């Protein structure tokens, strides 16, 4: 692997902002809405690096993370691991903060730990990790995380560690919702003093609890339980929506393209 400082040197803030805008447009086109469950964003203390770890249900996860990182955490340079084979195939991803790791074997673990530790020496840095490793249904229990996360926290005990749950359910529209919920931030020092097995068990429990809370939010189908980050596609479009618009006009009513009640 390249020098451990490589990801920080390669990352382009301008390209990250541009790519964040591209991904926001893609999510607007492919989802009914991108929503963050209340109470919303975590409070991250200044002067300490942050590790956000999340479940991994979909191909859309990196896009969702890029949108969140460039929307809320612009003052924190964001990074994330990716399969080394994917980075070799799409090298531009290195310019938006992604760094390659081998998914299996001790060499891949050592590379991840070395690079993560080097990046988190910057107290403003933010590392986003899909800690399940592979695509996993958000309803699968118990949650199982790769052991590298706990090992990394032991190396960077001053980090703030935050669980993040994501899922993509369908509600009333033809396009799905992109939903997220942050859990409570944890002090890395407390986790670092536990054994790796105990720290991993606690990380799994905290993420599972956050996923369960998001599942309850999702099952409610209540937009009021969320803050809408990106408004997306509403209605069916084409002749069907033209017909519905005509019916509304004939009845003297405002036209709402969605199937549910208009959101406030």
Query: Cβ atoms within 10 A of the Cβ of 32, count?
Result: 25
| Domain carrying residue 181 | 6-233
- CA nearest 87: which of 111, 118, 70? 111
Residue 128 near residue 65 (C-beta atoms within 8 A): yes
**pLDDT for 189 beyond 70:** yes
Q: Is 90 exposed, middle or buried (0-12, 13-18, 19+ CB in 10 A)?
A: exposed
Asked if residue 155 is part of any domain, the answer here is yes
247 and 217 in a common domain: no
257 and 194 in a common domain: no
96 and 189 in a common domain: yes
Mean pLDDT of the region 187-216:
97
What is the tens place of the pLDDT at every residue in 142-176? 999 999 999 999 999 999 999 999 999 999 999 99
CATH of the domain at 50: 3.40.1130.10
> What is the domain count for the chain?
2
**pLDDT for 190 beyond 90:** yes
- CA nearest 70: which of 107, 99, 27? 27
What residues contact residue 150 under an 8 Å CB cut-off, 6+ apart?
Answer: 191, 196, 197, 199, 200, 203
DSSP 33: E
Question: pLDDT higher for 259 or 262?
Answer: 262
251 and 124 in a common domain: no
What is the tens place of the pLDDT at every residue in 116-132? 999 999 999 999 999 99
**pLDDT for 30 beyond 70:** yes
80 and 34 in a common domain: yes
What is the tens place of the pLDDT at every residue in 96-113? 999 999 877 778 889 999
Query: With DSSP H G I counted as helix, E B as strand and the rest as coil, what are the percentages for the chain, rounded to 5?
Result: 45, 20, 40
pLDDT for 6 equals 87
Mean pLDDT of the region 10-15:
95
118 and 164 in a common domain: yes
**pLDDT for 235 beyond 90:** no
What is the tens place of the pLDDT at every residue in 31-41? 999 999 999 99
pLDDT for 202 equals 98
Asked if residue 87 is part of any domain, the answer here is yes
- CA nearest 129: which of 114, 145, 109, 111? 145
What residues contact residue 153 under an 8 Å CB cut-off, 6+ apart?
Answer: 51, 159, 161, 188, 191, 192, 199
**pLDDT for 68 beyond 50:** yes
243 and 175 in a common domain: no
246 and 228 in a common domain: no
Q: How high does pLDDT run on average in the chain? A: 89
179 and 57 in a common domain: yes
pLDDT for 104 equals 76
197 and 263 in a common domain: no
Question: pLDDT higher for 1 or 15?
Answer: 15
- CA nearest 164: which of 146, 182, 179? 182
Residue with tokens 């770890």: 53
Mean pLDDT of the region 64-70:
95
Asked if residue 1 is part of any domain, the answer here is no
Distance CA 65, CA 28 (A): 14
Residue 47 near residue 123 (C-beta atoms within 8 A): yes
46 and 76 in a common domain: yes
* Helix axis angle, 148-155 to 105-119, nearest 10°: 40
Going by pLDDT thresholds of 50, 70 and 90, the confidence category of residue 256 is very low
262 and 158 in a common domain: no
Whole-model pTM? 0.86
Could you tell me where the beta strands, DSSP code E, fall in 94-155? 98-101, 126-130
């Amino acid at each position: 692997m390249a020098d451990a400082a490589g990801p920080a040197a390669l990352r382009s803030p301008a390209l990250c902002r541009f790519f964040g805008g591209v991904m926001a447009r893609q999510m607007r086109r492919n989802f009914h809405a991108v929503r963050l469950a209340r109470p919303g964003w975590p409070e991250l203390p200044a002067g300490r690096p942050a590790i956000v770890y999340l479940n991994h249900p979909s191909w859309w996860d990196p896009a969702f993370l890029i949108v969140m990182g460039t929307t809320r955490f612009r003052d924190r340079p964001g990074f994330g691991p990716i399969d080394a084979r994917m980075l070799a195939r799409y090298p531009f991803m290195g310019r938006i903060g992604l760094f390659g790791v081998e998914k299996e074997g001790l060499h891949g673990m050592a590379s991840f730990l070395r690079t993560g530790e080097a990046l988190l020496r910057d107290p403003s840095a933010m590392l986003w990790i899909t800690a399940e490793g592979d695509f996993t249904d958000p309803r699968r229990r118990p949650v199982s995380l790769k052991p590298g996360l706990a090992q990394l926290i032991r190396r960077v005990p001053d980090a703030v560690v935050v669980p993040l749950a994501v899922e993509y359910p369908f509600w009333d529209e033809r396009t799905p919702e992109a939903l997220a919920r942050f859990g409570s931030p944890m002090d890395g020092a407390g986790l670092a003093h536990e054994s790796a097995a105990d720290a991993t068990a606690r990380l799994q429990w905290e993420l599972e609890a956050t996923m369960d809370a998001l599942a309850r939010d999702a099952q409610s189908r209540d937009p009021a339980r969320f803050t809408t980050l990106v408004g997306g596609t509403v209605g069916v479009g084409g002749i069907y929506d033209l017909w519905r618009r005509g019916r509304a006009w004939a009845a003297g009513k405002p036209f709402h393209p969605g199937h549910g009640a208009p959101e406030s």
